[in-house]
Amino acid sequence: WEDLGPQEFALRPVGTGSYILEDWGEDGGRSLLRAYSSSWRAPVHFDRLEVIYPLRDSVVRRQALESGEIDITVQVSFDDLKDLEAQGFTTQILQVPQIRALGFSNLGGEGSPLNDVRVRQALNYAVDKKAIAEVFYYNEVEVVGQGAIPGTAGYNPEIRPYPYDPDRARALLEEAGFGDGFELDAEAEIGQAQVIYEKAAQDLARVGVTMNVRAVVASIWLQKYFSSEWGDTEVLSVVWNAGAYRDTIRALEQYSCLKPQPFFCEPSLVPAIEATGAMFDPIQRDRALQDIM
- Structure confidence by residue, pLDDT tens digits, 33-58: 999 999 999 999 999 998 876 777 88
Consecutive H or E run containing 171: helix 166-175
Report the alpha-carbon distance of residue 190 to residue 122 in Å, rounded: 26
Cis preceding-peptide flag for 244 (omega within 30 of 0): yes
Residue 104 bridge partners (DSSP)? 235
pLDDT of residue 53: 66
- Using the predicted structure, report yes or no on whether residue 285 has a pLDDT greater than 90: yes
Which DSSP symbol is given to 180?
A: T
Q: What is the average pLDDT across 70-91?
A: 89
Residue 214 bridge partners (DSSP)? 187
Q: What is the average pLDDT across 162-167?
A: 97
- Structure confidence by residue, pLDDT tens digits, 262-275: 999 999 999 999 99
Task: For residue 41, give every residue at least 6 positions away whose Cβ sits within 8 Å of its Cβ, in sequence order, or none.
Answer: 18
Residue 241 bridge partners (DSSP)? 98
Question: pTM of the entire structure?
Answer: 0.78
Report the alpha-carbon distance of residue 88 to residue 99 in Å, rounded: 32
